[in-house]
Structure 1
Amino acid sequence: MSVWSGYLTLILEGALVTLQLTIMGSALALVMAFLAGLGRLSRIFAVRALATTYIEFFRGTSIFVQLFWVYFVLPLAGLTLTPLQAGVLALGLNVGAYGAEVVRGAVKAIGREQTEACVALNLSRYQRMRYVILPQALPLMLPTFGNNAIELLKGTAVVSLISLTDMTFQAQVVRAQTGNTLIPFTMILILYFAMSWTISTAMRWLERRMSRNLDGVRS
């Protein structure tokens, strides 16, 4: 039992790495989602083209290739990243590309009458977006953002391919040392589910809270 407690500690250490990847990757994905999503709505052609290129490239190529490219190819250009940094960058950029379409779709879903009312009030484009459009669009984004965060969490398993000691990597180590597959992979299965459930619960709570606040403003 003492032996297995040591292996449990090893997997929990991997869970901490997975948690770090999820939090930091989600933060980067959120930033990129808003930058690219709003960029696609820009009146400036160069901004729209850049945002579209980013979205289509990262949605149209494999996360495995992106991860290997970031970790193994960027050093050839003089940019060397740690495995954790490479994992965060690849996952964040990949999921951010999907999130960008969520942002664009939610903003476009806000009725045209809202924009016309803002124009009538002589609000600038920034003021319209900041104070009127985005507060109404955010509740529409949250359910899909939650799904994207869960997909990013599950996608963290790919970083084991660059020897980052996440949960999957540590489970493979335990399996190699003990010859037991059931216990380590059942443990990480439970941990992945617990993290996913936490994200889902948090996003549902945030969605309800923002919806109540928005209803209060409208009333």
Structure 2
Amino acid sequence: MNFWEIVVFLVREGVGVTIALTILSAIVALVLGFAAGLAKRSPYAVVRGIAHIYVEVFRGTSLLVQLFWIYFVLPMFGLTLSAMTAAVVAIGLNFGAYVSEVVRSGIESVPEGQLEASVALNLSKRQRMRRVVLPQAFILMLPNLGNQLIELFKSTSLVSLITLTDLTYQANLLNGSTLETTKIYTALLLIYFVLAWPLTKGMQLLERKLTEGRY
């Protein structure tokens, strides 16, 4: 196979799975990240404690080990997940822990004067968070959220180890049958770069759009 035939094969066979995995995992990570980030600021010690344990466990252990545990160990307890579901759960939980810290630090970066002004306007705590804090905090979070999204996308290559037929799995499969190692993994690098580039530029564009007229 020549180089471009390899590129076409990998795109046809693996890109769909990689993109779907990235989107689903990102949704899980964002939902969990915002929930845990807000929970860490809860007035209730139990809620803060649960959020703290979740974040520390998933930030303090390897994503690869988490992936293996969810896919290979959970069935021993009667819970069997498909490769795609296990991958989404593992990546979502792992990056959700990192996103939670981005959310927490973003909220804490909102100037104290904004909170004092919202209190003076007699807004409830929920209204302050929804109308004043989160809109400003989200803009502060964007650069780090973008970085986390790119890292999440690149981490999807690990799912080939649980036989999910993503880009990396297809590249390994092709390499085993053709031994065109240099061409195959160069093509794989190129495809990952091409897929990651719009994510990077898209987050930069969103950041510029949201900050227009604010500074």
TM-score category (smaller protein): over 0.9
Do 2:14 and 2:170's aligned partners in 1 also have CA atoms closer than 8 Å?
A: yes
The 3 A distance-change label for structure 1 pair 3 and 156 is: closer
Instruction: Give the letter aligned to residue 171 of structure 1.
Output: A
Do 2:54 and 2:97's aligned partners in 1 also have CA atoms closer than 8 Å?
A: yes
Q: CA deviation at 1:15?
A: 1.6
Tell me the equivalent position of 1:85. Answer: 85
Tell me the equivalent position of 1:139. Answer: 139
Tell me the equivalent position of 1:182. Answer: 182
Do 1:7 and 1:174's aligned partners in 2 also have CA atoms closer than 8 Å?
A: no
- The runs of at least 4 aligned residues of structure 1 exceeding 6 Å deviation read none
Do 1:11 and 1:188's aligned partners in 2 also have CA atoms closer than 8 Å?
A: no
Q: CA deviation at 1:6?
A: 7.4
Tell me the equivalent position of 1:45. Answer: 45
Instruction: Give the letter aligned to residue 104 of structure 1.
Output: R
Q: Distance in 2 between matches of 1:4 and 1:140?
A: 41
Do 1:167 and 1:188's aligned partners in 2 also have CA atoms closer than 8 Å?
A: yes
Tell me the equivalent position of 2:32. Answer: 32
The 3 A distance-change label for structure 1 pair 84 and 117 is: same
Tell me the equivalent position of 2:149. Answer: 149
1:17 matches 2:11? no
Instruction: Give the letter aligned to residue 108 of structure 2.
Output: K
Q: Distance in 1 between matches of 2:194 and 2:147?
A: 15
Any unmatched runs of 5+ in structure 1?
none
Q: CA deviation at 1:12?
A: 3.0
Instruction: Give the letter aligned to residue 25 of structure 2.
Output: G
Tell me the equivalent position of 1:164. Answer: 164
Q: Distance in 2 between matches of 1:138 and 1:76?
A: 41
1:194 matches 2:194? yes
Q: Distance in 2 between matches of 1:7 and 1:163?
A: 20
Q: Distance in 1 between matches of 2:21 and 2:110?
A: 33
Q: Distance in 2 between matches of 1:78 and 1:160?
A: 23
Q: Distance in 2 between matches of 1:205 and 1:9?
A: 31
Do 1:11 and 1:171's aligned partners in 2 also have CA atoms closer than 8 Å?
A: no
Q: CA deviation at 1:9?
A: 2.4
Q: Distance in 2 between matches of 1:181 and 1:153?
A: 23
Instruction: Give the letter aligned to residue 98 of structure 1.
Output: Y
Alignment partner of 2:180: what SS? coil
Any unmatched runs of 5+ in structure 2?
none
Instruction: Give the letter aligned to residue 23 of structure 1.
Output: I
> What TM-score does the superposition give when structure 1 sets the normalisation length?
0.93
Q: CA deviation at 1:195?
A: 1.5
Instruction: Give the letter aligned to residue 194 of structure 1.
Output: V
Deviations 1:58-100 (A, max 9, x none): 0000111100111112222222111011111101110110111
State which drifts further: 11-20 or 53-62.
11-20
- Aligned-residue Cα RMSD (Å) equals 1.8
1:108 matches 2:108? yes
Instruction: Give the letter aligned to residue 15 of structure 2.
Output: A
Q: Distance in 1 between matches of 2:115 and 2:170?
A: 52
Do 1:160 and 1:169's aligned partners in 2 also have CA atoms closer than 8 Å?
A: yes
Instruction: Give the letter aligned to residue 147 of structure 2.
Output: N
